Amino acid sequence: MFSTSFTWNDFMFLLDGARVTVQLTFWAILLGTFAGLLFGLARALWPRLSLPLAWVLDVFRSVPLLIQFVLFNSFKSIVGLNISAFSVGCIVLGVYTAAYFTEIVRGGVLAVSLSVRRASRSLGMSYLQDLRWIVLPMATRVAFPGWLNLVLGVMKDTALVMWIGIVELLRASQTIVTRIQEPLLVLCIAGLIYYVMSLVVARLGARLERRWQEND
């Protein structure tokens, strides 16, 4: 007969870890989206001037995220920055998100054909009006699926913050496993929570895309 030492309090502890995961994802995506939007526009509109920026972002895309966490956390200690481990996690994840979202935005902007832009300018629109009313709306629809996948990826990447002492969902599950020695059950429950969170984000994104299509 099946028996377990997993309790309701353990489940609530996992939900607390999931709450931290959601908070990390939210702040990382907020920071990364804002910075990535500015960087992506710069890379698409002024590719030569923004070449040094591209080199810097390549570093953050190339270096494994775990190494970035460890290095930034060590740098914080060496310099003496008085910021929490949660802030370190948000900053590193935010910069990592911005590095990837920059290319998503750049691809979306470049996907808008020159003929469309010439047509808008021929109608009397200024450069900024063309960018605001033509380029950005069209680029948003192209970039949105990539952004949504990035959100789901960052949500899973938050598991790496356990290495700097943050108790998110995976760290919470490992704490419980250490105590009750039932890894299969605990990790299945943690995986189910990850799935539910990801499913909610994916469904909201799909609904938004359907509304865009209905308004066409």
Q: Specify if 64 maps to a domain.
A: yes
Q: Specify if 17 maps to a domain.
A: yes
Residue 152 tokens read as 């789901």
Rounded to whole angstroms, how far apart are CA atoms 7 and 60?
41
Q: Specify if 1 maps to a domain.
A: no
Of 70, 125, 68, which is closest to residue 100 (Cα–Cα)? 68
Rounded to whole angstroms, how far apart are CA atoms 98 and 17?
24
Task: List pLDDT tens digits, range 53-99.
Answer: 999 999 999 999 999 998 988 888 888 888 888 999 999 999 999 99
Amino acid at residue number 198: S
Q: Specify if 40 maps to a domain.
A: yes
Residues belonging to the chain: 216
CB 29 within 8 A of CB 206: no
Q: Look at the block and give the residue holding tokens 């994840």.
A: 93
130 lies in which domain range? 8-214
Determine the average pLDDT of the residues in 6-20. Answer: 95
Q: Specify if 2 maps to a domain.
A: no
Rounded to whole angstroms, how far apart are CA atoms 51 and 33?
20
Task: List pLDDT tens digits, range 167-201.
Answer: 999 999 999 999 999 999 999 999 999 999 999 99
Q: Specify if 171 maps to a domain.
A: yes
Q: How many domains are contained in the chain?
A: 1
Rounded to whole angstroms, how far apart are CA atoms 8 and 196?
19
Determine the average pLDDT of the residues in 8-26. Answer: 96
Q: Specify if 172 maps to a domain.
A: yes
Q: Specify if 3 maps to a domain.
A: no
CATH code where residue 16 lies: 1.10.3720.10
